[in-house]
Amino acid sequence: ADPILHRKGKSGKKTVIAILSRLKEGRSVAMFPEGKIGDNSETVSTFKTGVIMMAAAGNVPIIPMYIKKKRSFFDKIKDIFK
């Protein structure tokens, strides 16, 4: 699996193109639909619309998943995704 990193505050055009390209190749794409790594494992934030638009454009299903995480793990990697 090779990640597609989107930098906060940057244009998402290249990110969307990369995701749609992978979907057209039949590859799976995992995303945080909240647009971030959540701060609380007990609650879900509002989903961003981009996930739904990309799934519709790629004609692929959205399969909801829950990742039970240890806060310390995501604290360590969070800086990578800024």
What are 43-67's pLDDT values in tens digits? 777 878 888 888 899 899 988 777 7
Instruction: Determine what percent of the chain is predicted with pLDDT higher than 70.
Output: 71
Confidence of residue 78 (pLDDT cuts 50, 70, 90): low
Residue type, 34: E
Its pTM stands at: 0.66
Mean pLDDT for all residues in the chain? 78
Cα distance between residue 47 and residue 49, in whole Å:
6
Length of the chain equals 82
Using CA atoms, how far apart are residues 78 and 2, in angstroms rounded to an integer? 17
By the 8 A CB rule, do 54 and 13 touch? no
